[in-house]
Amino acid sequence: MHWVVLAGAYIILWFLILQILLPIGVKAAHESGEEAHLLADAGAPSNPRIVFKALLATVIAAALWLVFYVLILAGYIDV
Domain count, the chain: 1
Whether 79 is covered by a domain: the verdict is no
Question: How would residue 5 be classed by pLDDT, with cut points 50, 70 and 90?
Answer: confident
Domain carrying residue 42:
3-74
Inside any domain, residue 41 = yes
This prediction's pTM = 0.79
Angstrom distances, CA of residue 66 to CA of 3, 9, 15, 27, 54: 14, 11, 16, 33, 18
Q: How many angstroms separate the CA atoms of 42 and 3, rounded?
A: 44
Q: Is residue 39 part of a domain?
A: yes
DSSP 45: B
- Give 74's contacts (C-beta < 8 A, 6+ positions apart): none
**Tens-place pLDDT, residues 19-61:** 999 999 888 777 767 776 677 777 778 788 999 999 999 999 9
**CA pair distance 62, 1, nearest whole angstrom:** 18
